[in-house]
Structure 1
Amino acid sequence: MHQVLAALLRGNSTHARGLQSRFDDVQDAQWPEAVTVCCSDSRVLQDHMWGNDVPGRLFTCSNIGNRVVQRTDRGEVVSGDVLYPIVHADTGLVIVTGHTGCGAVTAAYDGLTGDESEPAGISHCLGLLRSHLTAGVELLPDGADRTESINYLVEYNVDRQIDRLRASDEVPPETTVVGAVYDFQDVYSGRRGEIHVVNVDGETTVEGLKADHPEIASRIERLWEY
Structure 2
Amino acid sequence: MHQTFVELLERNAEHAQEFRSRFGDVQDSQHPAVVTVCCSDSRVLQDEMWGNDEPGRVFTCSNIGNRVVQRTEAGEAVSGDVLYPVAHTGTDTVVVVGHTGCGAVTATYDALTHGLAEPPGIDHCLGLLKPRLQAGVEALPEGVDRTEAINRLVEYNVDRQVEFLLESDEIPDATDVIGVVYDFQDVYGERRGEVHVVNVDGETDPDALREEYPDIGDRIARLWTY
Which TM-score tier does this pair reach, normalised by the shorter chain?
over 0.9
Q: Report the residue type matching 1:205 in the other structure.
A: D
What is the CA-CA distance between 1:190 and the residue it aligns to? 4.5
Q: Report the residue type matching 1:45 in the other structure.
A: L
Supply the distance in 1 between the matched residues of 2:158 and 2:179 (Cα, whole angstroms): 6
Question: Equivalent residue for 1:164?
Answer: 164
Question: Equivalent residue for 1:64?
Answer: 64
Does 2:41 correspond to 1:41? yes
Q: How many residue pairs are counted as aligned between the two chains? A: 226
Supply the distance in 2 between the matched residues of 1:131 and 1:121 (Cα, whole angstroms): 17
- SS of the aligned residue for 1:137 comes to helix
Q: Report the residue type matching 2:201 in the other structure.
A: D
Supply the distance in 1 between the matched residues of 2:190 and 2:147 (Cα, whole angstroms): 18
What percent of counterpart residues are identical?
67
Supply the distance in 1 between the matched residues of 2:185 and 2:3 (Cα, whole angstroms): 30
Equivalent residue runs for 1:123-134 within 5 Å: 123-134=123-134
Supply the distance in 1 between the matched residues of 2:166 and 2:48 (Cα, whole angstroms): 27
Question: Equivalent residue for 2:136?
Answer: 136
What is the CA-CA distance between 1:80 and the residue it aligns to? 0.5
Question: Equivalent residue for 1:183?
Answer: 183
Supply the distance in 2 between the matched residues of 1:86 and 1:67 (Cα, whole angstroms): 16
- SS of the aligned residue for 1:129 comes to helix
Equivalent residue runs for 1:53-202 within 5 Å: 53-202=53-202
Taking structure 1 as reference, are residues 178 and 138 closer, same or farther at Cα in structure 2, changes over 3 Å only? same
What is the CA-CA distance between 1:115 and the residue it aligns to? 2.3
Question: Equivalent residue for 1:215?
Answer: 215
Residues 133-190 of structure 1: CA distance to partner in whole angstroms, max 9, x if unpaired?
0000111011111100000000000000000000000100000000000000000025
Q: Report the residue type matching 1:209 in the other structure.
A: L
Supply the distance in 2 between the matched residues of 1:190 and 1:111 (Cα, whole angstroms): 31
Supply the distance in 2 between the matched residues of 1:24 and 1:173 (Cα, whole angstroms): 33
Supply the distance in 2 between the matched residues of 1:132 and 1:222 (Cα, whole angstroms): 19
Equivalent residue runs for 1:15-54 within 5 Å: 15-54=15-54
Unaligned runs of 5+ in 2: none
Supply the distance in 2 between the matched residues of 1:77 and 1:20 (Cα, whole angstroms): 38
Supply the distance in 1 between the matched residues of 2:190 and 2:176 (Cα, whole angstroms): 25
- SS of the aligned residue for 1:46 comes to coil
Question: Equivalent residue for 1:204?
Answer: 204
What is the CA-CA distance between 1:74 and the residue it aligns to? 1.2
Supply the distance in 2 between the matched residues of 1:152 and 1:117 (Cα, whole angstroms): 22
Supply the distance in 2 between the matched residues of 1:64 and 1:8 (Cα, whole angstroms): 23
Taking structure 1 as reference, are residues 190 and 220 closer, same or farther at Cα in structure 2, changes over 3 Å only? farther
- SS of the aligned residue for 2:189 comes to coil
- SS of the aligned residue for 2:77 comes to strand
Residues 24-71 of structure 1: CA distance to partner in whole angstroms, max 9, x if unpaired?
000000000100000011001100001101100000000010000001
Unaligned runs of 5+ in 1: none
- SS of the aligned residue for 1:26 comes to coil
Residues 192-222 of structure 1: CA distance to partner in whole angstroms, max 9, x if unpaired?
0000000000000000110111111110000
Q: Report the residue type matching 2:173 in the other structure.
A: P
Supply the distance in 1 between the matched residues of 2:166 and 2:190 (Cα, whole angstroms): 29
Supply the distance in 1 between the matched residues of 2:46 and 2:32 (Cα, whole angstroms): 14
